[in-house]
Amino acid sequence: MKINVIGGGAIGLLTAAKLGRIHDVRLLARTREQSEEIAVKGLHIGDEVIVVETLPSTDWRALGQADVWIVCVKQYDLPPIWEKLKLHAKAAVVFLQNGMNHTDFLQEEDFDYPIIVGSVEHGAIRIDSHTVEHTGEAAIRLADLTGNYAEVLVNQLHKPDFPILFEQDWRLMLGTKLIANAVINPLTAIYQVKNGELLEHSAFEKIAEVLCKEAADALGLEEEQQWANVRRIIYATKANLSSMHRDIQAGRLTEIESISGYVRNHAKQAVPYTDFVYYSILGLTKQQERTNQ
């Protein structure tokens, strides 16, 4: 297949590298410097070096058409990317983002091609512009937002060493991941702890459970099942630093708007714990910006 991958972050590099072993992959990187470095050195993942065609984000027209587009940018970078995609894409588009804000505006649009949303369960850290560390092997799950193409695509892309799985219910799929993110990401960033410490201290665990309840209620999902899933993920990733924790440490923007912000926007009743972590992360981000100036 011809696949255009948009985004040179950890998930974009991981996706381009894994799919590039078999398929014809073109990667749209953020900068010309990144695209040139990948062109010279290839994509590095573990001991593997995968060669993929790479272009900077200014060269949309040079990408050409593909059988599928896979968008791996952060939520806050998505709106301008989507405006360009509407002009260029003529085939299925897959969105691999944390949070769910994109589902709101995508459902308001009209397309001639399928829109697929995905949930990435892998752990990945970008080491440099051409190297990604695969910190946790899991799966990518895909579901149809519009159209009826996700299962066909899964059958074309799935490989045992890079599983891509089909899900019937996009709301349940994305909602389940969002609830875990709404609990783990802000709390670990605020308390500056690894994921596992949220269950090692009764006070942290109590706050985590209430955050889970608020998010589950807002999304209309069953609280007990979601709390069991959150606990499972915390145990499975207990030694990890969450992406939001790393973002705060590095002085980067976080995805709090598309995670806790989505819960706040869709809640039918007060969500005081979610409000607290939402505004806390906004405050920490501003504080870190001043520190880095």
Indicate which residue of 41, 84, 90, 177 is catalytic.
177
Residue 77, pLDDT > 90, answer: yes
Predicted confidence (pLDDT) per residue in 245-274, tens digit: 999 998 899 999 999 999 999 999 999 999
Residue tagged 């790393």 (tokens): 246
Domains detected in the chain: 2-168 (3.40.50.720), 172-292 (1.10.1040.10)
Give first-to-last CA distance, the chain, whole Å. Answer: 45
Mean pLDDT of 155-175: 96
Q: Over the chain, what is the mean pLDDT? A: 94
**What residues contact residue 128 under an 8 Å CB cut-off, 6+ apart?**
none
Q: Report the predicted TM-score, pTM, of the whole model to 2 decimal places.
A: 0.94
**What residues contact residue 49 under an 8 Å CB cut-off, 6+ apart?**
41, 42, 43
Q: Is 215 left (phi over 0), alpha (psi -120 to 50) or beta?
A: alpha
Q: Which two tokens stand for residue 14?
A: 């991981």
pLDDT for 293 equals 59
Cβ atoms < 10 Å from Cβ of 226 = 22
With cut-offs at 50, 70 and 90, classify the pLDDT of residue 288: confident
| More confidently predicted of 88 and 192 | 192
Predicted confidence (pLDDT) per residue in 111-136, tens digit: 789 999 999 999 899 999 999 999 88
Asked about 90 being catalytic, the answer comes back as: no
Phi/psi at 146 (nearest 5 deg)? -135, 155
